[in-house]
Amino acid sequence: TTPVHHQDVLTLNDHVWPKWQSIIMHSDGTHSLHFWVNRVLGHLMALERGGMGQQDQHDSQRLEMLKARAVTLRAKRDQIKQQTDVVKILKDKISKDLPLEDDAAAAGGFIEQQKSMLTAWRMQLKDLQRAHHLIGGYELVECKEGKSVCVSFHTAFEGVYLETYNMELDLTRTVQISRHNIPPSFPLESFAKQNLQKDFKAFLQTLSQNLNALAARRRQVCLLKELVGSVEVMESNQLCNILVLMCTAQSETPKAVLCTLEYGDLSQCLPTRVSIECEGTTHHNLTEPG
Amino acid sequence: MEQKYEEEIQMLQQEIEMLEAEQEETLRYIFMEHGDRLQRELKSVYKERGGAQKHTLSKLITETEINGITLNECFVKTLHKSERKLVQQLRLAGHCSVLLFQVEFAVTEIQEDDALLRRVTELNIVVDGVEFKDFSAFVSRVEDTKDLTLLFRTLRTFSERCEERRQTFQHFQEKYPDVVSLPEGCRSELMIIRSPQLPGISMTIFWKIDVSMEGVVKPSLELLLKMPDQAREFDTKKVMENGSDYFQSLLRVLGVEASIEGLIRTVCL
């Protein structure tokens, strides 16, 4: 399955699950989390709405289906209308500072009201969670009844949200990384050695910093390829910390200029050293102090 | 005949979408304007059927603690919602340790065939706190580039450095109250060391925390020595001239706390 980006949370069995970018499977075939892929839901919805126009279906069958569909939708519409009315009454009462419980309210109506209030609050919690993730916070999901925790790192560069990296941590004896989708060239082991046992918060912070820098460098290479026609990317690597570009210098005779960018600090997305070679002239080296 | 049903189905679907949006808006409004009342009313309801909410809430609290950013306010307005596109405006307010912030931004999400494209399209930032006096260049840059996540990553690191500074300054003031003074408070960048037995002589430590445009947080310490003119005659070892360089060497060797302690000890005769 192609990975899809995490978009929202889904309530299932009274737990709030995020929709993951990629599906993680155990070696024994079980899943540690249930996943709803956005696309699958979208497809189901599309099938529900328009997919009934299958050419080989009998006309009368189709008519029956349409009729049934209309009835279902009508019922759904009525139900939602009723809920919306209850919510509007709730809003009205709260705005006018009226008591929510009164003798005139039928018992059934009051329960509807309670449900609405809970929904309002649930929505606020959902909003808060979304806000946290939008500002780049880590997402934590407890799995296997507390035996492991899954962390998601959302990366972004200049307002554009990029890859999400996921990591499962086993908590049974010591904290250990059991599964992840971080590229192998990333120095995950060394970060884990530094901080994972002593300072979990610092570990997450270092990872977030470096993963964001990686995503940013990668994005910059993409943008370079897309937007700047006169520059050719000759060489790059998985960590995007070495970049070799061929640029064309505009002069009386256009010259080819080879630029090598080295990114010495993996937590940053700017190069620490640039060297420029131009045919016929000497090297120029630029190094960023520190 | 078929067409009649198809039309009705489409109309119903639109009506449902509209009602759902209306419901969402009203619910958000209720929480926005009357959050307090809602919370009060909910307290009793919560006890009866709080199960799922408790779980979500505790998860949110854990995430907040680990993230280091606390959101006190979160207002969301959906400007556009369709199957493939979502546009929302968010207004968040909160704090990161003692640093207060307020951000307003717009997010657009477009569902393409196999990927979700999400981007920040507007960003306004307000930060409040005495520590932020050198932060404005960074803030302007982030508003221009719409780099919301860089703002918060940097804010977290910045607040940690500020907290280190505050704790160190406060520690020394409590330990040596006669000699150490913080004229602008423990959250400022200034600490003055003065002995009552040596009037006119003071050592001022400037502990700056610089934030570059790219969000690199760099603390730096400097020492400023003051000595009355009459005393300068006795300064054969040229302490006044070289003092700040000596301090930098000391920092490299001993670190911040030990260096400051050393300085203070020199005046505690």
A65-99, pLDDT tens digit by residue? 888 889 999 999 998 898 888 888 888 887 887 77
**Residue A40 reports pLDDT greater than 50:** no
User: Is A159 within 8 Å of B121 when comparing Cβ atoms?
Assistant: yes
**Residue A201 reports pLDDT greater than 90:** no
| Confidence (pLDDT) at A6 | 36
Reported as half-sphere exposure (CB side, CA atoms, 13 A), residue B241 has a value of 6
Model pTM?
0.74
* DSSP letter (8 states) at residue B132: G
| Confidence (pLDDT) at B49 | 52
CB B259 within 8 A of CB B191: no
Residue-wise pLDDT tens digits, B141-153: 999 999 999 999 9
| Confidence (pLDDT) at A238 | 85
B72 touches chain A (CB under 8 A): no
C-alpha pair distances (Å), B12 with each of A44, A45, A70: 18, 15, 8
H or E segment at B253?
helix B239-254
B83 touches chain A (CB under 8 A): yes
Kindly list the residues from chain B whose CB atom is less than 8 angstroms away from the CB atom of residue A83. Answer: 23
Percent of chain A clearing pLDDT 70 (strictly above): 71
> ipTM of this predicted complex?
0.78
Q: What is the mean pLDDT of chain A?
A: 75
| Confidence (pLDDT) at B177 | 92
**Residue B188 reports pLDDT greater than 80:** yes
Among chain B residues, the shortest Cα distance to A18 is held by B56
pLDDT tier at B61, thresholds 50, 70, 90? low
Kindly list the residues from chain A whose CB atom is less than 8 angstroms away from the CB atom of residue B33. Answer: 94-95
Q: Considering only residues A275 and B60, tell me which one the structure prediction assigns the higher pLDDT.
A: A275
Among chain A residues, the shortest Cα distance to B114 is held by A4
Among A207-216, B36-45, B180-189, the minimum mean pLDDT is found in: B36-45
Exposure string for A33-71, b = 16+ CB within 10 A, e = fewer? bebeebeeeeeeeeeeeeeeeeeeeeeeeeeeebeebbe
| C-beta pairs of B71-77 under 8 Å, 24+ apart in sequence | B71/A128, B71/A131, B71/A132, B74/A124, B74/A127, B74/A128, B74/A131, B75/B28, B75/B32, B76/A127, B76/A130, B76/A131, B76/B28, B77/B28
pLDDT tier at A268, thresholds 50, 70, 90? confident
**Residue B167 reports pLDDT greater than 90:** yes
Distance CA A15, CA A175 (A): 24
| Confidence (pLDDT) at A277 | 84
Q: Considering only residues B111 and A56, tell me which one the structure prediction assigns the higher pLDDT.
A: B111
SS3 sequence of B200-240: CCEEEEEEEEEECCCCCEEEEEEEEEECCHHHHCCCCCCHH
CB A130 within 8 A of CB A8: yes
User: Is A132 within 8 Å of B16 when comparing Cβ atoms?
Assistant: no
User: Is A66 within 8 Å of B9 when comparing Cβ atoms?
Assistant: yes
Q: What is the mean pLDDT of chain B?
A: 86
CB B204 within 8 A of CB B192: yes
Residue-wise pLDDT tens digits, B12-31: 988 988 898 888 888 888 77
**Residue A8 reports pLDDT greater than 50:** no
| Confidence (pLDDT) at B106 | 96
Among chain A residues, the shortest Cα distance to B77 is held by A127
Distance from CA of A167 to the nearest CA of B (A): 15
**Residue A39 reports pLDDT greater than 50:** no
CB B64 within 8 A of CB B127: no
Exposure string for B170-192, b = 16+ CB within 10 A, e = fewer? eebeeebeebbebeeebbbbbbb
Among chain B residues, the shortest Cα distance to A129 is held by B60
Q: Which of B38, B66, B214 sits opposite A201 (nearest CB)?
A: B66
| Confidence (pLDDT) at A108 | 61
Kindly list the residues from chain B whose CB atom is less than 8 angstroms away from the CB atom of residue A137. Answer: 63-64, 67, 69, 152
CA dihedral A205, A208, A210, A214 (to 10 degrees): -170
Q: What residue ranges do the domains of chain B occupy?
A: 1-37, 159-268
Kindly list the residues from chain A whose CB atom is less than 8 angstroms away from the CB atom of residue B81. Answer: none
Which of A124, A196, A263 best probes binding to B when mutated, by most B CB atoms within 10 angstroms?
Answer: A124
Among B125, B119, B130, B132, CA closest to B102:
B125
Which of A121, A154, A169, A223 best probes binding to B when mutated, by most B CB atoms within 10 angstroms?
Answer: A121
CB B27 within 8 A of CB A116: yes
CA dihedral B252, A208, B99, B136 (to 10 degrees): 80
| Confidence (pLDDT) at A61 | 82
Among A264, A261, A268, A226, CA closest to A246:
A261
Burial of B55 (0-12, 13-18, 19+ CB in 10 A): middle
Kindly list the residues from chain B whose CB atom is less than 8 angstroms away from the CB atom of residue A63. Answer: 1-2, 5
B102 touches chain A (CB under 8 A): no
**Residue A36 reports pLDDT greater than 50:** no
| Confidence (pLDDT) at B52 | 59
B34 three-class SS:
helix
**Residue A185 reports pLDDT greater than 70:** yes
Helices (H), strands (E): how many in chain B?
Answer: 7, 8
Distance from CA of A251 to the nearest CA of B (A): 32
| Confidence (pLDDT) at B48 | 53
User: Is B42 within 8 Å of A90 when comparing Cβ atoms?
Assistant: no
**Residue A273 reports pLDDT greater than 50:** yes
Task: Find the length of chain B.
Answer: 269
The predicted model gives A278-285 an average pLDDT of 66
Kindly list the residues from chain B whose CB atom is less than 8 angstroms away from the CB atom of residue A269. Answer: 214
Distance from CA of B240 to the nearest CA of A (A): 29
Among chain B residues, the shortest Cα distance to A267 is held by B216
B87 touches chain A (CB under 8 A): no
* DSSP letter (8 states) at residue B178: T
| Confidence (pLDDT) at A23 | 36
Sign of the CA dihedral running A174, A179, A180, A186: positive
| Confidence (pLDDT) at A26 | 36
Q: Which of A97, A123, A136 sits opposite B149 (nearest CB)?
A: A136
B269 touches chain A (CB under 8 A): no
| Confidence (pLDDT) at A66 | 86
Among B214, B31, B269, CA closest to A122:
B31
Percent of chain B clearing pLDDT 90 (strictly above): 44
**Residue A28 reports pLDDT greater than 60:** no
Among A26-40, A188-202, B171-185, B225-239, the minimum mean pLDDT is found in: A26-40
**Residue B249 reports pLDDT greater than 60:** yes
